[in-house]
Amino acid sequence: MIHTYAAFKNIIWEALVRGHKALMKCMAEGLIGVEGKGSFGDYSHTFDLITEKAIIDYLKESLEKVYIISEESGEIRCDDPEIYALIDPVDGSNNVANGLPFSASAIVLAGGPYLSDVIAAGVVDHSSGKVYLGDEGGVSLDGRPPNLKRKSRLSDALVFLDLASLEKDMEDSYNPTELSIRLIRSVKHTRFFAAASLEIAYILEGRADAFACFSRDLKLMDFAASICLLKWAGGAYKILGGEDPSLLDTGRYGVVAASSRVILEEILALWD
């Protein structure tokens, strides 16, 4: 089965819409119980598993030789894969379980097993149903072009800061808590909504200027789709813990993402 880039985007779009509908049905039926732990060690709710199944079932229908890596099921292997799919079925599960309207699903499709092999990506905002979708040819937000802010100074910026960064005093050779405090004191506004894929996606439409998680607490699937979209839209990012990680890696990462290289470099200068 041969697919064009447009076909890959359509597949991602449909998979995200099916996942969104599955999650909305779970919420309407109150399916928020914990079913155990997923492949990456986090608690799995009923809605996580049902949403994941809806997404995976469609990807299997649409892609013949696909190697799937998903938060709950882990690796669904394929001999001689043509496509790799990295899935975060519900980013912000704790928000959903507590009735907070901030969560997303995210998918990347790649021609090989590394982040640099990604050819298309998408994120759906479950509070609105809006789909952020793109490839190297461009990015769309429900059919509209991205609208990144172009702030020239960090002091004017609104930045999402993952509060896990305040829980560690040492990460490799630096102090995430100290960096977080420096960032808070350097920007105009900080926010945290506990769904990295959606927080980074919000940069695409000018709702924020940057996202930072200085500690290595994020799974690759938490941010891979959004940073690919951001790159294709003209933004910039830096992964803390590996420049081109394998999509099969079960490790944890930090990430800094920004609407411009200028803002990214100013955040990275906090290390000095």
Q: Given a cut of 60, is residue 244 above it in pLDDT? A: yes
Q: What pLDDT digit, counting tens, does each position of 220-235 carry?
A: 999 999 999 999 999 9
Do the beta carbons of residue 136 and residue 232 sit within 8 Å? yes
Class of domain 154-271: alpha beta
Average pLDDT over residues 237-244: 93
Q: Given a cut of 80, is residue 63 above it in pLDDT? A: yes
The mean of the pLDDT values for the chain is 94
Q: Given a cut of 60, is residue 2 above it in pLDDT? A: no
Q: What pLDDT digit, counting tens, does each position of 192-221 carry?
A: 999 999 999 999 999 999 999 999 999 999
Q: Given a cut of 60, is residue 236 above it in pLDDT? A: yes
Q: How many C-beta neighbours within 10 Å does residue 124 have? A: 31
For residue 91, what pLDDT is reported? Answer: 97
Q: What pLDDT digit, counting tens, does each position of 64-115 carry?
A: 899 999 988 899 999 999 999 999 999 999 999 999 999 999 999 999 999 9
Strands of 74-76's sheet in order across? 74-76, 66-70, 83-91, 104-110, 118-125, 131-135, 138-141
- 150-182 burial, b at 16+ Cβ within 10 Å, e below that, comes to ebeebeebbbbbbebbbebeebeebbbbbbbeb
CATH code for residues 5-141: 3.30.540.10
* 102 CB-side CA count, 13 A: 15
pTM score, whole prediction = 0.95
DSSP code, position 145: P
* 261 CB-side CA count, 13 A: 2
- The percentage of residues in the chain with a pLDDT greater than 70, rounded to a whole number, is 99
Each domain of the chain, given as residue ranges in start order, spans 5-141, 154-271
